[in-house]
A and B are shown apart, each in its own frame.
Chain A
């Protein structure tokens, strides 16, 4: 099953072309007080690829993602996004540049319905202001309907039609993860950062999530950075894999290269298999 899906993703007729480097991280170091979360890490992400980050617990994977979209600011290193160096970036800027993400611990808006959560994902594309919202009829309503259409496409795509109006707090874990992906997709991102989107899921849910990730990548050409612990999944769907251990990069390459890298086997694969 997994292998089949991996093949569809890499088939030439899928229309997916790996392109230029869009995100280039150079010598990134990040410290929290005395804790070195990341030490001198360099790697890049190419357009349209699925780039995975793996490593044992506490290796610095989530920190890396947080650096990418400006939640954390590394003390050292440079980041080039589409060739432009950026120094300080906040999550809002990252969002305007087309970077969306999901969180390791689900970060949905608990008090809102599935539909409202996903609609919120489009907030940057909404141009009407508070006064127009106060009146509602007219521009605000037109905009609301226009974006609702887009959101319904995402809902269809992720097959969550039946839970549209449900408050997200009432959904089971697996579906919450899916809604969080929907909220990120609603922004029509060019770069999608996924922090363990399959953690805690059963086999069936994992397969669905795999399929969605591959479809997003394939149909919309979205570049994906994926953190995942399930080696089977990672090796199946990734184009390239970065391996972190204790905040250092210990491997980087295609799944096959990484699998056979002695350092990686020693530090990571060896430990868990």
Chain B
């Protein structure tokens, strides 16, 4: 019964949040916090941002009022949803010294039950990428998979492209393409939400809601909204980007980027597919208790490649090259697809506006110029 669909009129939309809450979910949704739209727990519909969006360019994000009442035409949220399933800090275990060995004393906390309301298609695709990272069939990460199994994903057709978006080029949106539980479209003129079940869990929730019949034009409208959003996107990647990066592990252009790059790691921390972490061990003052925890790390930090007495990637150029090459090239070798889903967060949230699409294009242009000179 995955094929439940219907229209949720504005007056009935609270019922969705109530239904999720009644099933024990913490509902997370886009919320306005200060100068940005972030993601936070909500208990009522009026806490979800309404009629807001953001203008995003390389290195800038500006909140703006919309001229409609859409809640999910936010452009990618300032806070990536990643933290919900892959938390920035996670406790792994605690052990106690017994005098002749040690014993584990931590009781793993049950993973939270979270409903992600208003995921954009790019962010949904990012979850599908991380699913492969955190469970490759042989090894599964319990922190991620526990949260993931308990999560309910409600994604919205994207009605607003930002200047930094390129999901159409990465084929991850702006329509809801990746697996989720419910797909939602905010119809024009505040006519209501077209909701479509995409899983059994989603169908079960929808069938309890006061749904009106789907208007005749709703599906056409849904597709038109996505098409308009795709048409508004201005960024893309050069042809054969994976090959391009493979061919230029050594290139003077990396130094030009390094002159600008702050090695602050914001691009990796904001990227919804970046997954790297570090483990830290801490001990109590009396040395009888040890705790291991996991924290987000970044290929821009020196210690990331610390081995045999020194970091291997010391120059910023080698660290930037690592980041862009993994995202756009070697991820294909590992997972058979790109590590980038085109959300543009690394571009917007780089304090000095370094643009992954522009750097790939610059490299392609330099390659073309070198070939032309050679011919």
Do A and B belong to a common assembly?
no
